[in-house]
Amino acid sequence: MLFNSVPFAIFLPAVFLVYWFVFERSLRLQNLFLLAASYFFYAWWDWRFLSLIVLSSAVDYGVGLALAASCDPRRRRLLLGLSLTANLGCLAFFKYFGFFVSSLVDAAAAVGIHLEPTTLRIVLPVGISFYTFQTLSYTLDIYRGRIEPTRDAVSFFAFVSFFPQLVAGPIERAASLLPQFERNRRFDFQEARDGARRILWGLFKKVVVADTCGRQVNIIFAASGELSGSTLLLGVFYFAFQIYCDFSGYSDVAIGSAKLLGIRLRDNFDLPYFSRDVAEFWRRWHISLSSWFRDYVYIPLGGNRHGKARQVANVLATFGLSGLWHGASWNFVVWGLLHGSYQIPSVLRGRRRPDRRVAAWSTALPRPGELARILATFALTLFAWIFFRAEDLDHALRYTAGMFTASLFGAPQFDHGVPLALIAGLLSAEWVQRRKAHPLQFDGLPTFLRWSVYLALSLAIIAFFGERRDFIYFQF
Amino acid sequence: MKRFLLRCAVFAALLVSALQLVGLAVPFYWGNTGFATKMAYLKESGARYDTLLVGSSRIFRQVDPSVFDAATGELTNSFNLGVSATYNPEIYFLYERLLEDDVSSDVKFVLMELQSLNRIARMNAGTRAAIYSVDLETCRFAVSTLSEVEARPARRAEAIRHYRTSFLQRFFKLQILREMLEFRFGSPPAGLVLGPNRDGFYALELQAEEFPGRSRKIIARRAGLMRSPESIAHRRMRAADVYRNPESWSFSRTHLRRLERIVDRSRARGIEIRFVLPPRLPASELEELLPIYERLGADLAIDLADPRAHPEFYAMENSFDLGHLNTRGAERFTRLLAARFLASRGD
């Protein structure tokens, strides 16, 4: 069930009403209902893959309890291995099997060995990259003694499968989300109102901005060999906003839906295109995944504790893996490595930006130097997006070569009025409201104005609601 | 909680009201480009016609107003308002609203194609054409008619689902709001529907000759007939079978009542209406239409679909494709239609 679909527009209010009106008095029934609703939500795509979620949940629930009951380091390692094997095994099989086989065949062919691989048509279960990471972090945190395992199976299964964030995150940690399933929840008007606004803003970003940009992106990337450099530049520019609005829009709807149910999810995007360097970009882009890789890959690899050379290697390994997480293809790995390499200069300088607030926090506009850094960071991410969006490495290289020609300075082909106007509107709203959690937090405005904005956004969503388009991150 | 739900309800009401206001800002025919083009022409040109020819491509491509007017001895001054792929119930939706429009103020005669209910094919579900005319009344009419005439449960259920979905999409303007706004604020529609004489008639052959690039589907249909000319004989045989076997007919009282209402409303506006059964109808449509035709009677309906009475309309030399006549066939059909129209008036 897609967030930008009529079934979800019926499903969410129905869940909301039953959840608060029928089951408010019983936490256990509320959790059971959430579990059933989440499984229904997932089964809407393909009920057969529910078994994978149940398996992943069951393994980590059991491993968690067994870890807590055991002091034997060897047994604990074995239990952790079981969880890693089950979760990463499923991920490897469903997501990476074809990639590994084709890479092996290519490598063998390079040294003159011709293999005849058996090809399997494996369907990628929606959301597998997200829920396996979520349930894996639970076991890893118990193993490290950071959290205690839960004995409440319903809460745990509901935590793993919680429908707002089941298929595309945010990837939650057990320490923050699981306790919310274990304590009574009360309806909060302010939270619910903010949740509804966030859903509205998320749908606007997805349906209006992302899908409009997406149409241009598809045309430009499909015909990249025949278009001018300036058109190709606009193509990747649109893709930057397509993927941002698509994924952050999904996250907004997820966070908003959870708020309606009295549950708080972590923010997943925080104005990434206003970042002043690439490290900051990664503190603001797909925050739940970045922090997951930081905590469970980068730091265990040694982080910055073993000298500059090791730190550079750790950064590259972490970003390479992050790229591979996004897709079983070498262009995703290159995308990740590009982002890793962007950070090498600051790693070598050892410079850390102490200011974690968004640009121009205390001024209306950024200072010239700050603006230059924002634009440079955006340009670097833009270049990397080519590798993310292209069909394969070869396409990405051809696209890049086609872009950096004399025609880069000519007039672009096609009409770009609507998508550029939408992007300008989006950036303006985000800039003006950059100190708020989202642009629709404008309680100081008169009610009439606020409601006019809600109404205008809703009408825009309905007007742009055309052919159904999946969220990009579902494929990861 | 109550406060939140109340605000949600108020907002939903405001949103629905705004959507309905948009609906009021566009004319009733906005979703049918061909019909909109002809209506725009009628309104802008100031041309006045006393006879309208209404229906799908079987009217648009086969009834030539200049031939018709000549055959009626200039009793009529007609305009072909037929548009390709404009079926029942859309045609009834358009016509009943047309009666309230200034365009129909001088109209004395209407010849309307009699059509079976469109099932909304799966490939068309969710399109503007399948949505824009399905208001509550149209939806109810379609569901009721389908319950009476569609014997295959799966097909009936699917068609009913499509109509109900179309109604909800129309109500909430889903997938059509943007097109409505574009219609309202964009450039006027333009299509090849007015024809060379600006009387709404455009023979298939002529369009294929004059605009081959925009007539690829038409040309392909012609090629299809040339590849299998026996398909006409098959259609003729199947049609004759339906005429011979009334037990195969399926009658819809709902459909008949709708036509009777159309007759009454037309009369109230001083319009004489005749329903026309054109040739080349598939057997499945005839099974639905013949019982209606019989009940309407010869005063109100003209049957030119019977291959036993009109074999010339199934002759290859009068054919363009399987479902349509060529220019020559259209001319013969128009003359005969005019004669039958005069006969129905007692002239």
> How large is the average pLDDT for residues A231-256?
96
User: Of B98, B136, B134, nearest to B117 (Cα)?
Assistant: B134
What does the pLDDT read at residue A472?
A: 63
Contact between A471 and A206 under an 8 Å Cβ cutoff? The reply is yes
How far is the alpha carbon of A190 from chain B, nearest alpha carbon, in Å? 9
What does the pLDDT read at residue A471?
A: 60
Backbone φ and ψ for B56, nearest 5 degrees, come out as -95, -155
Relative orientation angle of helices A128-143 and A174-182, to the nearest 10 degrees: 90
Q: Is the preceding peptide bond at B89 cis, omega within 30 degrees of 0?
A: yes
Flag the least confident range among A117-131, A194-208, A245-259: A117-131
Indicate if A339 belongs to the active site. no
> How large is the average pLDDT for residues A277-305?
91
User: Of A282, A279, A259, A260, nearest to A270 (Cα)?
Assistant: A282
What does the pLDDT read at residue B202?
A: 94
ipTM of this complex: 0.83
> How large is the average pLDDT for residues B41-61?
91
Chain A interface test: which of B177, B180, B183 (most A C-beta within 10 Å): B177
pTM value? 0.85
Flag the least confident range among A178-187, A256-265, A460-469, B212-221: A460-469
CA torsion through residues A198, A202, A207, A208, sign: positive
Residues A326, A339, A395, A438: which is the catalytic one?
A326
Collect all residues of chain A within an 8 Å Cβ-Cβ radius of residue B14.
451, 455
Across the interface, whether the CB atoms of B11 and A462 are under 8 A apart is answered: no
What does the pLDDT read at residue B236?
A: 95
With 60 as the cut, is the pLDDT of residue A468 above it? Answer: no
**B177 vs A6, A196, A462: nearest CB:** A462
**B175 vs A20, A454, A465: nearest CB:** A465
Collect all residues of chain A within an 8 Å Cβ-Cβ radius of residue B127.
none
Q: What is the mean pLDDT of chain B?
A: 93
Q: Where does the pLDDT of residue B325 fall: very low under 50, low under 70, confident under 90, or very high at 90 and above? A: very high
What does the pLDDT read at residue B124?
A: 81
Torsion region of B120: left, alpha or beta (phi above 0 gives left; psi -120 to 50 gives alpha): left
Across the interface, whether the CB atoms of A454 and B11 are under 8 A apart is answered: yes
Q: Where are the domains of chain A?
A: 6-186, 190-276+353-475
For B118-174, the pLDDT digits (tens) are 888 778 888 888 999 999 999 999 999 999 998 899 999 999 999 999 999 999 998
Compute the distance between CA of residue B176 and CA of residue B32 in angstroms, rounded to an integer.
Answer: 12
How far is the alpha carbon of A373 from chain B, nearest alpha carbon, in Å? 39
DSSP state of B48: -
- DSSP H/E element including B294: helix B283-296
What does the pLDDT read at residue A467?
A: 61
> How large is the average pLDDT for residues B276-287?
94
Quickly count: other Cβ atoms within 10 Å of residue A203's Cβ.
Answer: 26
What does the pLDDT read at residue A456?
A: 96
Inter-CA distances, A442 with A447, A451, A454, Å: 10, 11, 11
Collect all residues of chain B within an 8 Å Cβ-Cβ radius of residue A20.
1
For A353-362, the pLDDT digits (tens) are 556 788 878 8
**How wide is the angle at C-alpha B30 spanned by C-alphas B25 and B34, nearest 5°?**
155
Contact between A3 and A250 under an 8 Å Cβ cutoff? The reply is yes
How far is the alpha carbon of A237 from chain B, nearest alpha carbon, in Å? 25
